[in-house]
Amino acid sequence: MSQRTVTLKFSDSDRTIELPIMEGTLGPDVIDTRSLSSQGILTYDPGFLSTASCSSNITFIDGDEGLLYYRGYPIEQLAEHSDFMEVSYLLMHGELPTAEQKVKFVDTVRHHTLLHDLMGSFFRGFRRDAHPMAVMVGTVGAMSAFYRDSSDPFDAKQREVAAYRLLAKVPTIAAWSYKYNLGEPFMYPQNRFDYASNFLYMMFATPSEDYQPNPVLARALDRIFVLHADHEQNASSSTVRVAGSSGANPFACVAGGIASLWGPLHGGANEATLTMLEQIGDASRIGEYIRRAKDKTDSFRLMGFGHRVYKNMDPRAAIMRQTCHDVLNELGLHDDPLFKLALKLEKIALEDEYFVDKKLYPNVDFYSGIVMRAMGIPNSMFTAIFALARTAGWVAQWMEMVASPEQRIARPRQLYTGSIRRDFLPMDQRG
């Protein structure tokens, strides 16, 4: 079949430009506009509403149908039958591991979990009340200084070691950022535990008492990791790719991803959801907050609702909703006032005309915050846990980007709306 094209026709002249249409294996066709700049034309798309910034074979989302696949596997199947280590392998290598590959992968990650001893002193430079995400941006960026032998993005072996180091050490950094807040001693990773149990251990154990991670909570946490592991070209993954496109080292790129994730419109929404629920305080005030969310003159938004791509239920939210009910039941928390309030808000928003018309469904952050809160995880750690899980996706996206022959430095252009040329005015002629 001959190449399909689209023709751009200018309304004020006979000029036309023919552009090739690219087809993926799934999802919308993409118009290849790369040749436009050499013809003196640019495309305009702030916020990237209609822009495919790269080609990728890692993750697929169909926002209308509410589908999410990692390497072709539906998220529902992975959440039910797989675990975070297997999913990380899948994201990085493209295929599910064999039994032997999995053992080797898990073992390698395990043996990279310790931080360079001097990194402990690095933590001590922060204020005690520093937000864990602030500590993570700083300390993950600082890995560039501690692990210089795996910071060359153009060396395949160094890339691989960096990937293992990030996957293994980010949980240690996240847990230690919490311990630092509490003023408790840092707990060293324990190789006898699985990934999620080890994280719970580093967060909640102390040297003075025996601590055994609860397997039900570890399984629920592992599921949270699986659901958050990757999500196509979202703000933080795009940040990692843009940073990496200049040849920056992987630790600096992932620190950039963490910074981008922190915002309340992205990963920070899980913490913002709980802050909002605490502000609402009582079911009698839900109406007031729903009214504020609909009011165009009020900047308030219902946190944990809406998504750029999903105009149907976010499949991660559907799974997380179930996990949320399971965990609340398991812990006997269904009658907790905050959780009752959350479930009431969910019900009202799902039926409200404004939210229904705009297709604003509860997203994954709405339920994950509630689940983590029920598990005894403090609000300030929610986004840090999202970052820990998304590290798998960031690393996979970064590796794909670095290896792609199509990749060039990311350099968007602009529609300039400033002053036209004018001459410099000496001070006495201004104003």
Tell me which residues touch ligand CMC (CB under 6 A).
234, 265-267, 269, 293, 301-308, 358, 360, 363-365
**Distance of alpha carbon 374 from alpha carbon 151, whole angstroms:** 39
Catalytic, 93? Answer no
Please give the angle made by the CA atoms of 350, 321 and 323, to the nearest 5 degrees: 170
In the chain, the amino acid numbered 274 is L
Angle between helices 195-204 and 156-182 (to 10 degrees): 30
**Closest distance of CB 423 from ligand CMC, Å:** 41
Q: Pinpoint the alpha helices (H) of 96-187.
A: 99-110, 119-123, 132-146, 156-182
The pair of structure tokens assigned to 5 is 């094209």
The pair of structure tokens assigned to 46 is 């702030």
The pair of structure tokens assigned to 208 is 């003075």
Contact 270, 368 (CB under 8 A): yes
**Closest distance of CB 132 from ligand CMC, Å:** 17
> Which residue of the set 112, 228, 266, 307 is catalytic?
307
**Closest distance of CB 148 from ligand CMC, Å:** 32
Catalytic, 112? Answer no
Question: Given the complex with ligand CMC, which of 179 and 316 has the nearer CB atom?
Answer: 316
**Closest distance of CB 265 from ligand CMC, Å:** 4
Question: Given the complex with ligand CMC, which of 46 and 431 has the nearer CB atom?
Answer: 46
Bridge partners of residue 21, in order along the sequence = 31
**Closest distance of CB 385 from ligand CMC, Å:** 13
The pair of structure tokens assigned to 296 is 């165009």
**Closest distance of CB 431 from ligand CMC, Å:** 39
Backbone angles phi and psi of 7, in degrees to 5: -110, 125
The SS3 assignment for 362 reads: strand
Question: Given the complex with ligand CMC, which of 8 and 318 has the nearer CB atom?
Answer: 318
Task: Tell me which residue has tokens 């005309």.
Answer: 353
Question: Given the complex with ligand CMC, which of 167 and 364 has the nearer CB atom?
Answer: 364
Question: Given the complex with ligand CMC, which of 148 and 291 has the nearer CB atom?
Answer: 291
Question: Given the complex with ligand CMC, which of 223 and 307 has the nearer CB atom?
Answer: 307
The pair of structure tokens assigned to 74 is 């539906």
DSSP-derived secondary structure for 61-106: EETTTTEEEETTEEHHHHHHH--HHHHHHHHHHSSPPPHHHHHHHH
Residue number of the CB closest to ligand CMC reads 306
> Which residue of the set 83, 194, 230, 365 is catalytic?
365
Q: Which residues are catalytic?
A: 307, 365
